[in-house]
Amino acid sequence: MATKYIFVTGGVTSSLGKGIISASLAKLLQARGHSVTIQKFDPYINIDPGTLNPYEHGECYVTEDGAETDLDLGHYERFLNVHTSQANNVTTGRIYHHVITQERAGAYLGKTVQVVPHITDEIKRRMLLLGQSGEFDIVITEIGGCVGDIESLPFVEAVRQLRWELGVNESCVIHLTLVPYLKAAGELKTKPTQHSVRDLSEAGVQPDILVCRSEYPIPQEVRKKIALFCNVKQNSVIESIDAETIYDVPLLMRKEKLDERVIAKLKLPHKADPNLDTWKEFLGRLKNPTSEVNIALVGKYVELPDAYKSIIESFVHAGSANECKVNIKWFQSENITDENVTGLLQGMDGVLVAPGFGERGFKGKLEAIRFVRENKIPFMGICLGMQCAAVEFARNVLGLSGAASTEMDPETPHPVIDMMEDQKQITQMGGTMRLGAYTCELKKGTKAYSIYGKSRISERHRHRYEFNNTYLQAFEEAGMHATGINPDTGLVEVIELQDHPWFVAAQYHPELKSTVLNPHPLFVKFVKAAINHSKSK
């Protein structure tokens, strides 16, 4: 069977949840026995989101092969439990970069290079790439931004051409819109949806299915009106109501028969009904917790939770695994001082110091770590969080005055965290860090080994600076052990404190590999330690 293609577009406003709808539909089709992948096409000119401020775009999600991608790819992996790659996230910047590089190399043989056909041809080539691998029955392509935006036009044009080239039942367009409720009028309004579909139709693409986001149920007469004005069947007007958790959405879409509409449109073989038993079990545990913990997340982007999206979701997965409600309490690291740290953190059952870059909030993170180390509160550090744990230990236990990371203080007398030699030559910012999956060896008999239950693991990285092994012996002698080491480079990956109930910090990003079906063991055991701590109070 040839690969079928589903295109998901959005209108009216951004942030309607195209990523969650795409992931939920993919989950339903996967649960029916189809092999599915999802790709995200972003209309911005950055080559990738690696250089974007998290306040602009939320977190930067890193794949196994080291691509810095959109946070929606995190949703895809968490829902489907399959890896994404460089090919799953494409930006306008990447498209133009490729076409211009080709033009400079003389690939177009003197032709005038234009948006149509050259840019749209490159978009189409990348839209078909994963389908041509032979691995997937269905490829879902989510197009970022809004229909009607200038920057989205080439993508919509590429979809128009592809639909024509692929044939009638080979593709399907799902358009996500908003049906707002006006309190003054006391009714749901369909006009924004009508305008949005008209914009899409003017660009030559007629949607097959409309998914209508709403805060209130959409009655049949409103669906009938939308169907009439938008040229879709009434049973293809799907309601997407606000959900208690994003993990409810696949079940809500199943109830609305979104997967059945897609199967009918694509003339897919009607395999068995979707098997969602494990998904329902996960939700059952999530919604019926037997315990509750408060975990402090100390970071510098806490005003925008999307900056820590994967960490939040990892706590959801770990909470469900422990039948525990995890309440994340947000702490802006800039606001934590020696004077107020006790008042802020003493009631917490666990503290996580988050990843990040730059000096802002560094001192607050050190204060938080000193407090949890001295007061035996479960602690987990990720990436910069691990580096902060090393600096705090060097200063306050080893007595190395002025110890720091050379990222924060290039002149530090004790660079316990320093840049790798091969990184010192780099002048470009984008895509030049240690990125993607690397192997780590865990020492037997350690907390890290007991957490994973094996000695060889693979985890994803995104950083430039490393633990300076010159200080390793002093750390070990004082009770801070390097329990995870990269076998190829000897670089420290995991540190843990000996005389502490649970003090583990990792140079890698465990949150990037946590999924509904495979909650990450570090988060699962950290939540367990927090439960034990809350009981001992």
pLDDT in tens, 222-253: 999 999 999 999 999 999 998 999 999 999 99
pLDDT in tens, 501-524: 999 999 999 999 999 999 999 999
Task: Give the per-residue pLDDT at 357.
Answer: 79
**Cα dihedral sign, 232-203-97-56:** negative
d(CA 267, CA 99): 35
The type of residue at 15 is S
pLDDT level of residue 47 (50, 70, 90 thresholds)? confident
Q: What is the mean pLDDT of residues 151-160?
A: 95
Higher pLDDT pick, 270 / 391: 391
> Hey, how many other C-beta atoms are within 10 angstroms of the C-beta on 395?
18
Q: What is the mean pLDDT of residues 334-362?
A: 89
pLDDT level of residue 72 (50, 70, 90 thresholds)? confident
The type of residue at 106 is G
Residue 496 has pLDDT above 70, yes or no: yes
Task: Give the per-residue pLDDT at 303.
Answer: 80
Can you give the pTM of this predicted structure?
A: 0.92
Task: Give the per-residue pLDDT at 419.
Answer: 81
Task: Give the per-residue pLDDT at 422.
Answer: 60
Task: Give the per-residue pLDDT at 70.
Answer: 85
200 close to 157: Cβ distance less than 8 angstroms: no
Higher pLDDT pick, 110 / 342: 342
What domains sit in the chain, N to C, each tagged with a CATH number? 4-280 (3.40.50.300), 289-536 (3.40.50.880)
Task: Give the per-residue pLDDT at 426.
Answer: 58
The type of residue at 237 is V
Q: How many CA atoms lie within 13 A of 491 on its CB side?
A: 23
Mean pLDDT estimate for the chain: 91
- List, as residue ranges, the binding site for ATP: 15-20, 72, 243
Q: What is the mean pLDDT of residues 74-82?
A: 92
Residue 339 has pLDDT above 70, yes or no: yes
Residue 163 has pLDDT above 90, yes or no: yes
d(CA 238, CA 261): 10
> Hey, how many other C-beta atoms are within 10 angstroms of the C-beta on 132?
11
Higher pLDDT pick, 272 / 100: 100
Percentage of the chain beyond pLDDT 70 is 96
Task: Give the per-residue pLDDT at 302.
Answer: 79
Residue 423 has pLDDT above 80, yes or no: no
pLDDT level of residue 53 (50, 70, 90 thresholds)? low
Beta strands 324-332 and 209-214, pairing class: unpaired
Q: What is the mean pLDDT of residues 465-478?
A: 92
- List, as residue ranges, the binding site for Mg(2+): 72, 142
275 close to 308: Cβ distance less than 8 angstroms: no
Element spanning 192, H or E: helix 191-202
Task: Give the per-residue pLDDT at 421.
Answer: 66
- List, as residue ranges, the binding site for L-glutamine: 55, 356, 384-387, 407, 464
Task: Give the per-residue pLDDT at 272.
Answer: 77
> Hey, how many other C-beta atoms are within 10 angstroms of the C-beta on 394?
26
Task: Give the per-residue pLDDT at 269.
Answer: 82
Task: Give the per-residue pLDDT at 432.
Answer: 57
Higher pLDDT pick, 339 / 421: 339
Residue 55 has pLDDT above 70, yes or no: no
Q: Which residues contact 459 (CB under 8 A, 6 or more apart)?
A: 437, 438, 440, 493, 506, 508, 509, 510, 513
- List, as residue ranges, the binding site: 14-20, 55, 72, 142, 149-151, 189-194, 225, 243, 356, 384-387, 407, 464
Active-site residues, by number, are: 383, 509, 511
Strand positions, DSSP E, 106-264: 138-143, 171-178, 181-182, 187-188, 209-214, 237-241
Task: Give the per-residue pLDDT at 190.
Answer: 92
- List, as residue ranges, the binding site for CTP: 14, 149-151, 189-194, 225
Beta strands 404-405 and 434-442, pairing class: unpaired
pLDDT in tens, 286-306: 999 999 999 999 998 878 788
Task: Give the per-residue pLDDT at 186.
Answer: 86
pLDDT level of residue 314 (50, 70, 90 thresholds)? very high
Tokens 């203080």 map to which residue? 409
Q: What is the mean pLDDT of residues 30-34?
A: 92
d(CA 213, CA 209): 13
